[in-house]
Structure 1
């Protein structure tokens, strides 16, 4: 049983059909939903409860990005839009879905975060801020949910070939080099494998692993590495 939600119904139908082709017995429910709209989120959860009566795993993947210096922004509202999707979109849906998740033992939430939630990235102040917020929220939520046997997995991909980079917000987002980016299929498989293992975190890149390792012990070193890397990015932008 699978539930798919997104704003674009045509793409929802396409993905649903692909799922059915992979498994002819698969039950796939599609619901048009904007995760920044609490009414839409409520309708989504109600549809899940009415159709299936349960929720075993909540996958949170909605996101938008940016690609320019904070001082060059033409409209600060862009920062708010990023937070609305990346942070409030995740927490809205989690808030509404928790009662369903609590009905099942060992249910799971997995969140597609970003290496930007570990290492601050140049040209992505609003994006990094939203991903740090997501990380803080779900790391704080996990202890509260242990009594309900609900477990959270946070995935931290690096560069992935998806439309998020084509659709970055802003008037003139800088070019993002995707030469070493992994495919969306490879990214999805890594996440699925990690969720099945019950990993608390899924780290994709050596930079992410290094940043996670040294951030609490050697913050000055991490700051130095970030600044050094930022200069390279800014010089090439």
Structure 2
């Protein structure tokens, strides 16, 4: 689905990949409903001064079903239709083993990453089905198919997003709604910078982290080309191949690549 003149909803729009998605969609002629939780308002407001009514700003905690269920009507009141959904918002867990995590931390990761994506899909799908052409893009992670050290709950949540998205693709294959799942590898965002981890070999071209700008461009291209799955970054492509070939070996490699500080 080409994004020009389409109304696209983007979660996690306040920073990182989300803000780049908003910028690039606007540059390509899309109309954007930017979903924010707590941060990033000033950056998005600056875009509104440039693009005017091509962008609207909406506040919601996607982990709260009541918040999410109000969004479609809010957006329809502004833009009159909804053509696409990019579920980008997500959080990582503290870099601890499952044994050292408390249930509140576990619940928060699952609520944002999995249930937030589910609430968005279920709330917006009836409206997408009414459009001549529509698309859902869900951002999983390389961790959605490969264990990551001390991120077991995060990877479980992203694996759930993977299967949710692939299941939706199966359910919607004979409808007007396309579905894409995205597996980004390492992306150089504040989440990664503040995580307290060391990734060895990042100077290598094969494992160099993507910029948010590069990741956003790949995600939009996947949506426009109606891709079933998108591997964003050389590390994601390499580890996807290795994991299919030898899961245990791939897990050993990622354990050596990522170390907590």
- CA-CA distance at 1:25 after TM superposition: 5.8
The equivalent of 1:5 in structure 2 is 35
Distance 1:5 1:208 in 2: 27
* Other-structure match for 1:165: 192
CA distance in 2, matches of 1:188, 1:31: 20
Q: Is the 8 A contact 2:239 2:250 kept in 1?
A: no
1:117 to 127, 141, 144: 144
Q: Counterpart of 2:110? A: 83
Q: Tell me how far 1:231 sits from its aligned partner.
A: 4.8
- Residues 135-161 of structure 1: CA deviation (Å, up to 9, x unaligned): 011101111112322111111111112
Greater mean alpha carbon deviation, residues 190-199 or residues 224-233: 224-233
Which of 249, 257, 261 is the aligned partner of 1:224? 249
The answer on whether the counterparts of 1:118 and 1:211 sit within 8 Å (CA) in structure 2 is: no
Is 1:185 the counterpart of 2:220 in the alignment?
no
Q: TM-score, normalised by structure 2?
A: 0.77
Work out the CA distance in 1 between the residues paired with 2:77 and 2:105. 36
**Cα deviations by residue, 1:83-117 (Å, 9 ceiling, x for unpaired):** 10000000001101011101112200111211111
Kindly indicate whether the alpha-carbon contact (under 8 Å) linking 2:84 and 2:136 is maintained by their aligned counterparts in 1: yes
Q: What is the match of residue 161 of structure 2?
A: 134
> Which moves more between the two structures, 83-92 or 147-156?
147-156
Instruction: Report the equivalent of 2:133.
Output: 106
- The farther-off stretch of 124-133 and 70-79 is 70-79
| Number of corresponding residues | 225
8 Å CA contact retained: 2:149, 2:258:
yes
C-alpha contact 1:106 1:150 (8 A) present in aligned 2: yes
Select the residue among 15, 37, 50 that pairs with 2:44.
15
- 1:201 counterpart (222, 229, 246): 229
Contact 1:64 1:167 in 2 (8 A): no
* Separation in 2, partners of 1:7, 1:37: 11
Partner Cα distance (2:257, 2:142) in 1: 18
- Identify the range of structure 1 (74-83 vs 53-62) with the bigger mean alpha-carbon deviation: 74-83
Structure 2 segments unaligned to the other structure (5+ residues): 1-30, 203-207
Cα gap change, 1:229/1:191 in structure 2, threshold over 3 Å: closer, same or farther?
closer
Quote the residue 1:57 is aligned against: 84
| Residues 1:167 and 1:41: Cα distance change in structure 2 (over 3 Å) | farther
Cα pair 1:55 1:101 within 8 Å, conserved: yes
Where 2:180 maps in the other structure, the secondary structure is strand
The alpha carbon displacement at 1:120 in A equals 1.1
**TM-score w.r.t. length of structure 1:** 0.84
